[in-house]
């Protein structure tokens, strides 16, 4: 059994395809003083994993944190529709990076890393942005979008792991297999 230290339905779906999992969301502090976005994502993932591991020392813990980076600035989750609109306008027609830091704790050993995927959006007109905002899908999403849903129409191309943009890179599944965990058949 693997414990997923996240309430994200997307992470639960990805990891649950391969392994039996139990979801125990972390309440870890998600603040970080790391300068590089990659370091920040890994630090937050580590905090999440460690916050759960202390209560479940004999279980395998998986935690992740996904951030969107545009022109060296981290785009968090929008506070409201107006902020979501501004984020989508900034991403329109441009390339941004999606970085997911991950941390696995297995038998007291920590394995951590990150994955980077580049995403290019099409040019978004106001009508398309208005339609998307009305879906409500932008809520609780870094960069104000979810690639696996309605926002798929925004994407011109991606370079890298699609599942990383969804919230959990497949690299994590491979790392778990390397640790000897057997996937479902």
Active site residues: 65
**Among the listed residues 37, 125, 57, the one whose alpha carbon sits nearest the alpha carbon of residue 49:** 57
Q: Which residues, in sequence order, are bridge partners of residue 68?
A: 75, 98
Question: Which residues are CB-neighbours of 17 under 8 A, at least 6 positions away?
Answer: 184
| Separation CA 107–CA 143 (nearest Å) | 35
* DSSP symbol at 182: P
Question: Which residues are CB-neighbours of 27 under 8 A, at least 6 positions away?
Answer: 51
The single residue listed with the structure tokens 């929008």 is 78
Rg, the chain, Cα only = 17
Three-class secondary structure of residue 26 per DSSP:
coil
């Amino acid at each position: 059994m693997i414990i997923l230290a996240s309430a994200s339905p997307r992470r639960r779906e990805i990891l649950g395809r391969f392994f039996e999992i139990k979801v125990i969301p972390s309440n870890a502090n998600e603040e970080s003083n790391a300068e590089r976005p990659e370091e920040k994502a890994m630090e937050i993932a580590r905090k999440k994993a460690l916050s759960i591991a202390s209560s479940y020392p004999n279980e395998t813990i998986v935690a992740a944190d996904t951030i969107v980076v545009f022109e060296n600035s981290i785009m968090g989750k929008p506070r409201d529709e107006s902020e979501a609109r501004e984020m989508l306008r900034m991403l329109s027609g441009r390339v941004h990076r999606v970085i997911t830091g991950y941390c696995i704790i297995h038998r007291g050993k920590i394995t951590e890393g990150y994955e980077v995927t580049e995403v290019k959006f099409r040019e978004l007109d106001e009508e398309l942005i208005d339609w998307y905002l009305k879906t409500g899908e932008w809520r609780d999403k870094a960069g104000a979008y979810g690639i696996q849903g309605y926002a798929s129409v925004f994407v011109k191309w991606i370079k890298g792991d699609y599942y990383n943009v969804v919230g959990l890179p497949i690299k994590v599944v491979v790392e778990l297999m390397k640790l000897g965990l057997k996937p479902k058949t």
